[in-house]
Structure 1
Amino acid sequence: MILHSRQWIDHYVGEGRWGQRTLLDQFEHNRDANPDREAVVDPPDRPDLVGTPARSLSYREFGQAVDATAAELIRRGLAKDDIVVAQLPNIWELAMLYLAVARAGGVLTALPLQWRATDVGYVAELTGARLYIAADHAKGFDYIAMGRTLGFEQCLSLAELTAIAEGPVGPLPPVTVDANDIFTLCWTSGTESRPKGCPMSHNSWFSHIGPLMRTSGLREGDRQLCVAPLVNMTALGVNYVSWLVSAGTLVLHHPLTMPVLLEQLSEQDIHFTILVPAVLNMIAKLPDVDRIDLSSVRAITTGSAPPSLWTLEEFKRRWGIEIINIWGQNEGTCLIAGPADVPELERRVDHLPFWGKPGCRWPSGVDGVSVKLLDDEDREVTEPGGIGELCYRAPSLFAGYFKRPDLTEKAFTADGYFRTGDLFVIRDDAHVGFHDRKKDMVIRGGFNISSAEVENAVQAHPAVLDAAVIPQPDEVMGERVCVCVVAREPASPPTLDDITGFLRESGMSLYKLPEALRIVDAIPRNPVGKILKRRLRDEVG
């Protein structure tokens, strides 16, 4: 499935930035060169997660599982460019499935475990996926039953998938996979009420991972701890693809559990990971922090919110660990403030490199990325202190939203820059910094939530006259969904449980459910009916 235009393929091939190598080729190289090296390590609490023992697989064993699964998928009718939907936690089978589906010629789209019938059904309809692979049960929810209800032709349980992967390798016919074929299909949200598919090719992934490897100092054979779910850019873009490129070991974690996290960081010889600022703060403030052994960790990336200077200083002072500040999106965008390009910790918290600016040379050696800021009239903002929407162009960029040409057309400038929807400020001649969100959304634990989607769903509740969603700051998740409601009967307003129960019954995904409720007399709007979110935030505090 090749989605980039011939124009862009020829452009980046001509520049030498895209080639013929695939991530499958990279994995085969790793398997041949290091067959006995640990490839993937299960989370130690896997038995509590899915009821089966945790495993560690070498590259030889992992490759065998990839081949066996690919052969069975082909036997079951998976054809070139078919899409497979999966809902699995961070376990070795999910890491394996990305490669196995690609080896069979298909594309894996892995969805968050919190997604329910509304979003999963939309993905199934848009992609035409016939095969659904999911955990048998997780936290009391029957995923396979949901898959059958949604009409997937085949629903494969985790138990069946594990048996296939651990079984013999059947006939494995050759399948041609091009470097411009799509390798992953992740999903994001913004102002749209429906998820938007972000397809990334092998070439796009190789281009994306180059800046991370340079700025983070990743080395061949590094052991990485993957804490974020293996479904979007946070885990795939920081851990999974860099694990493949560095021929390292992928140590999995799920869900976020501090005792398990600290045990893995201290005892699994971890060299690199990504943790949100709140978790970094929690570690640095633990009462027994002096007993924590992080001597193997060289670098930790962070994102979703600005890290605190104190945290950066504490990790550097206590353990010599560099905290690297990342801004990025599922569409293939990324700016990274690492120690080479932004050595001063006090600047690294809010200064990101102005990659691609003429005259700027970066010690990390990152090139091929170009960013610019545009105002509301699409005029370029160039002076320090100026604010505009960050627009991004690079060989890592996706081709456009999956089967949504209407959204794709609006998302790109005429000269091929992607409109990120984030407002940035020019800090100085060489740096930019995040200023505010142009899109109306809540970012909870790395997942984008459309405010409009939740607002529309809440307004359907019989006890609600009007509703608006605003982000509520949260130390752990970054933000949570706060819904402001005008009650139809002021004397008996709905409760938060009333609203969340109503949304659950409608099939809304769990992570989108409101976690705070404010009853208000009116939702402030402008003359054309647009909700004045800043004013609302000020009013409710």
Structure 2
Amino acid sequence: MTISTIAGLLDHCAAERPNRPLLLDVAGATLTVSQVADLSSAATRWLRDAGVRPDMTVAWQLPSHINAAVTMLALSRMSVTQAPVLHLYREREVRTTLDVAGADILLVDPSTAGNAPADIPTVVIPDDLLDLLRTTPRPDAEPDGPRTTTDPHWVYFTSGTTGRPKGVRHTDASLLNASRGFVSHLGLGSYPDEVGNIAFPIAHVGGIIYVVATLLGDFPALLIPKVSVEELPGLLAEHRVTVSGASTAFYQMLLAAQIAAATDEMLMPSLRMLVGGGAACPPEVHHQVRQRLGIRVVHAYGMTEAPMICVSEATDTDEQLAGSAGRPIPGSQVRIAPSGEIEVRGDNLAAGYVDTEQWERALTADGWFRTGDRGHLRPDGRIVVTGRTKDLIIRKGENIAPDEIENELLAHPLVDDIAVLGQPDELRGELVCAVVRRSPRHRDVTLDELCAFLDDRGLMKQKWPERLVIVDEFPVTGLGKVAKSELARRITGGNP
């Protein structure tokens, strides 16, 4: 049987395995597959009563909890376009995303209601939504008419802390294909008593990919609405999570917790694998996770426009995991342009941008999507992502990749986290600036120590940092990536 829509997949799984757990929350509640199917169906009636109508664009801003997952799945049943908004955004950023999507209505909960602009109809989803839905009759049929797998009923937003985001239009087909590749490469659900978790914003495109993955792989996921280094290891241990992750920053958070623990015992003994994406994972982080946590990082490469382009495989060697971001999932095609830019096409590619002219400019003459990332393909078919084309530092006419310097300096004992960027310079064009996040565990590193370290590791002098800035925190995007443009603005403006 071919499942062509996300709602169809949910209902099929509910019929096949109604009592299997699907969604878990930090308070200990568990919803089975059939309960999620029933609640999401009942939620369609609740949403219509609240003012959601066919053909609307419905934006929602909710943290990563069960209410959000049920609302998202309910909207997937309706003839509307849903536009998830990261719960970390404030009013100005919410206003921008609503404008980009052309939203007709906004769904919030008590924690995000203060971000709602005054000029758009807003519905507050109560904290006790599930209790309300249990007494709401399930409709006899979906009254809005059938959805098709190729209708672009999803709008996601390109990440960043500055600038106007692009609205990315996805279909059920593109999201299902991305999730199928994710599950098959990682073998999710094949491990006994598999438990995943969503500790990143569920409004990110990875949220629906992961929810679909739980259905395809037949395993539950723990939703964590707020992540803190103090509580996260205990939550993962308490709920026996086997697969976790989000981004490199997430891996480093777990590493820091284990290193700081006054015990040799593993804080998260059930963990078998960390999975993430959003930005390249430096080889040094792979090695540290392997050494300190006793598990492997199985990283992926994707973006809002093309989720899960390449995914590492559970059977990959340590060298393949540390040295690449996996190989293309089924239906995903990757090529490297003569400029070194990664170009993609395939079943996981978005249907376009809300602004069609922006999408046309992003495509090559023969229809491949220009990612803006640099990289190369290895002989074993795996991809190595070396950085963003716009992040290149051009020093005296020579191209310098910040990622290479960052990867080397992460091995320095006095560096926990680092970002390397270019800064304007009259003599050089740009100079190399290293920005190091201050550590609570050791003293600050010096510029001379960084340069001596790179010298010992054989990097040419042109790649050595010429300026060092120590900051308490990095500005980050919704998935924990360092927002380099914002970081550059802060240190240039004298407000690190």
Query: Structure 2-normalised TM-score?
Result: 0.72
Report the CA distance shift for 1:406/1:280 in structure 2 as closer, same or farther (over 3 A): same
In 1, the alpha carbon distance for the partners of 2:222 and 2:298 equals 20
In the other structure, the counterpart of 1:389 is 341
What secondary structure is seen at the aligned counterpart in 2 of 1:70? helix
Identity %: 20
Q: CA deviation at 1:412?
A: 1.1
8 Å CA contact 1:74, 1:104 repeated in 2: no
Q: CA deviation at 1:35?
A: 2.6
Report the CA distance shift for 1:514/1:305 in structure 2 as closer, same or farther (over 3 A): closer
Report the CA distance shift for 1:167/1:407 in structure 2 as closer, same or farther (over 3 A): same
Which one of 58, 79, 98 corresponds to residue 72 of structure 2?
A: 98
Q: CA deviation at 1:88?
A: 1.3
In the other structure, the counterpart of 1:335 is 310
In 2, the alpha carbon distance for the partners of 1:292 and 1:210 equals 32
Q: CA deviation at 1:72?
A: 1.9
Q: CA deviation at 1:224?
A: 0.8
Do residues 169 (structure 1) and 123 (structure 2) align? no
Q: Which amino acid aligns with 1:41?
A: L
In 2, the alpha carbon distance for the partners of 1:165 and 1:511 equals 43
Q: Which amino acid aligns with 1:105?
A: S
In 1, the alpha carbon distance for the partners of 2:81 and 2:301 equals 26
Which one of 34, 41, 61 corresponds to residue 17 of structure 2?
A: 34
8 Å CA contact 1:224, 1:248 repeated in 2: yes
In the other structure, the counterpart of 2:264 is 290
Q: CA deviation at 1:206?
A: 1.8
8 Å CA contact 1:372, 1:392 repeated in 2: yes
Do residues 267 (structure 1) and 235 (structure 2) align? no
In the other structure, the counterpart of 1:302 is 276
Give a deviation string over 1:445-470, Cα, whole Å, max 9, x none: xxxxxx9xxxxxxxxxxxxxxxxxx9
Q: Which amino acid aligns with 1:396?
A: N
In the other structure, the counterpart of 2:296 is 322
Q: Which amino acid aligns with 1:351?
A: S
Do residues 144 (structure 1) and 100 (structure 2) align? no
In 2, the alpha carbon distance for the partners of 1:426 and 1:473 equals 30
Report the CA distance shift for 1:240/1:439 in structure 2 as closer, same or farther (over 3 A): farther
In 2, the alpha carbon distance for the partners of 1:181 and 1:69 equals 21
Show structure 2 runs of 5+ residues with no match.
393-401, 404-420, 422-432, 440-470, 476-482
Report the CA distance shift for 1:227/1:81 in structure 2 as closer, same or farther (over 3 A): same
In 1, the alpha carbon distance for the partners of 2:121 and 2:35 equals 30
In 1, the alpha carbon distance for the partners of 2:138 and 2:330 equals 44
Alignment of 1:91-240 (within 5 A): 91-136=65-110, 138=111, 143-147=112-116, 149-159=117-127, 161-162=129-130, 164-169=132-137, 171-174=139-142, 175-189=145-159, 193-219=163-189, 222-237=194-209, 239-240=210-211
What is the aligned-residue RMSD (CA, Å)? 3.7
In 1, the alpha carbon distance for the partners of 2:299 and 2:370 equals 21
Q: CA deviation at 1:210?
A: 2.3
Q: CA deviation at 1:103?
A: 1.5
What secondary structure is seen at the aligned counterpart in 2 of 1:60? helix
Report the CA distance shift for 1:124/1:80 in structure 2 as closer, same or farther (over 3 A): same
Give a deviation string over 1:213-235, Cα, whole Å, max 9, x none: 12211126732111111011344
In 2, the alpha carbon distance for the partners of 1:162 and 1:475 equals 43
Do residues 349 (structure 1) and 332 (structure 2) align? no
Report the CA distance shift for 1:472/1:295 in structure 2 as closer, same or farther (over 3 A): same
Report the CA distance shift for 1:130/1:162 in structure 2 as closer, same or farther (over 3 A): farther
Q: Which amino acid aligns with 2:261?
A: P
In the other structure, the counterpart of 1:59 is 33
In the other structure, the counterpart of 1:437 is 388
8 Å CA contact 1:115, 1:511 repeated in 2: no
8 Å CA contact 2:85, 2:97 repeated in 1: no
Which one of 334, 338, 352 corresponds to residue 371 of structure 1?
A: 334
How many corresponding residue pairs? 410
In the other structure, the counterpart of 1:526 is none
Which one of 22, 44, 48 corresponds to residue 74 of structure 1?
A: 48
Q: CA deviation at 1:27?
A: 0.8
In 2, the alpha carbon distance for the partners of 1:511 and 1:234 equals 22
Greater shift in the superposed pair: 279-288 or 102-111:
279-288
8 Å CA contact 2:97, 2:157 repeated in 1: no
In 1, the alpha carbon distance for the partners of 2:326 and 2:376 equals 12
8 Å CA contact 1:280, 1:311 repeated in 2: no
In the other structure, the counterpart of 1:417 is 368
What secondary structure is seen at the aligned counterpart in 1 of 2:352? coil
